[in-house]
Amino acid sequence: MQNATLVFDLDGTLVDSLPDLVAATNHALSDLSLPLVPAETLRRTVGFGARRMIVEGLNQTGLTLPEPDLDRLLARFLAYYEPNIARETRPFEGAVAALEDFRAAGARLAICTNKRLSLAEHLLKELAIDGLFDAVAGRDSFPVYKPHPDHVRGAVRMAGGDLTSAVMIGDTGIDIAAARAADIPVVGCAFGYSEAPIETLKPDAVISHFRELDAAIRPLLARTAAPASQS
């Protein structure tokens, strides 16, 4: 793990944030007196950001709104979500212990999330895990965001790492596509918010609990180091 850079998605990978995101979405939609949208309906849209969750909620009722109305609903979402960001959100079981072990072993840790940077930093602080990360790259940290590879590359650079010894850990096709485009290996989390079974998206490894992550990552790091050691 020495000098490795581990890049984590946030929602659905490190933290189970679905309950608070669903609550914020339904709060935004309550302005239209719409029925509550169930969590399972919104689960697959988490990786795309708040606006997509709102649109999906509207789709369930057959509504299509113009951009100014979507902007207003997004503002309602954010006004509710920020002060309630960690009401029910918690790290997945074993996540914090794994992060602490990776840091102790010499790895750099970074977040690469399509959540806005201010919200990501706020959530990490509320959960008291902000000190575990060398870098946090949010949706608005760069001109592009996942699945664009420069979002992942930027997170690695911010952490002071090198792409040749980096691994992405995520839970959706967005994360896998971003890692592939950035040319780094990726571990898929089966407990996350992927619309399809994560195995079908063909990550380099799959975990169902954080206790499995160390064993999943080490062969991938050895594989990325192999060309350098053979030269």
Would you name the residues annotated as active-site residues?
A: 9
Task: Give CA–CA dist 25/126, Å, rounded.
Answer: 20
| H or E element in which residue 100 lies | helix 95-104
Task: Give CA–CA dist 170/198, Å, rounded.
Answer: 10
Task: Give CA–CA dist 16/203, Å, rounded.
Answer: 21
Is the distance from CB of 87 to CB of 20 less than 8 angstroms? yes
What are the CA-CA distances from residue 84 to residues 16, 78, 207 (Å)?
14, 10, 29
Is the distance from CB of 215 to CB of 196 less than 8 angstroms? no
Q: Which residue has the tokens 């971003």?
A: 178
From the list 159, 27, 171, 180, the residue with the least C-alpha distance to 103 is 159
Is the distance from CB of 49 to CB of 115 less than 8 angstroms? yes
